[in-house]
Amino acid sequence: MGDDIPPISQLVHATPAQLLRLKEAQHAVSKADCVLVALRSLDELYLGFSVSQLTHSLQTAARAEAAGADPELVVGALCHDIARVLPVGSHAVLAANLLRPHVRPEVYHVIRAHWHFELRYTATFVEGDTADARKRFRHRPWHDLAARFADEWDQASFDLGYDTPPLSHFEGRVREVFGRYRNMADPAWKQWLRPPYRQMRHVLGF
């Protein structure tokens, strides 16, 4: 669209040309772009640690990478605290749900449960929880990986002396992982389900 089209100031007054440009602009922004923006915002958040939450996330991902983790697990490590910027709900659950359409179930469960595994170190400060909270997952097939994630990568990644790579080091893997779908969240399924879903809402009046 041409630059002569002014930006939208109120949707009620938006012209067809403005709405078309809005649609094109939103399609041009990928989920990976949004994830990268959210990760950058963590650089302003310290939460009492010696490094920012972005640096912590980068160090966690770098340790996973050094240990030979595959791209899905490295990106999971990078994004495990991405929801810290939203002071609502469980940050681990929110991060896991963000990743879920794009990673195998093992990675999803590791990220979703990582907070419980870290209670080994923080339970004395978290009312109502105990240091053995991870025992509830001891029979899950991903238990050992979650323990390794918490014990070797996550809890150690607040190190001022660590050679922390920049976010650009992981950008390619972020785009790779968030650019593909592993389950029914695939846009093709959404496109197939959307018309009957809208029709049902119309009939039911909501």
> Where are the domains positioned within the chain?
31-185
The reported pLDDT for the residue numbered 28 is: 82
Does the pLDDT at position 190 exceed 90?
no
Quick one: CA torsion of 123, 83, 169, 99, rounded to 10 degrees?
Answer: 100
Does the pLDDT at position 187 exceed 70?
no
Q: Of 68, 93, 89, which Cα lies nearest the Cα of 79?
A: 93
**Predicted TM-score (pTM) of this structure:** 0.81
Q: Cβ neighbours of residue 204 under 8 Å, at least 6 residues apart?
A: none
pLDDT in tens, 79-138: 999 999 888 779 999 999 999 999 999 999 999 999 999 999 988 777 667 778 899 999
Does the pLDDT at position 179 exceed 70?
yes
Does the pLDDT at position 166 exceed 90?
yes
- More confident site: 120 or 149: 149
pLDDT in tens, 5-57: 999 999 999 999 999 998 988 888 899 999 999 999 999 999 999 999 999 99
186 falls in which pLDDT band (50, 70, 90)?
very low
Range from 114-123, 135-144, 177-186 that averages highest in pLDDT: 135-144
Between CA 158 and CA 53 the distance in angstroms is: 9
CATH C-level class of 31-185: mainly alpha
Q: How many residues are listed for the chain in this entry?
A: 206
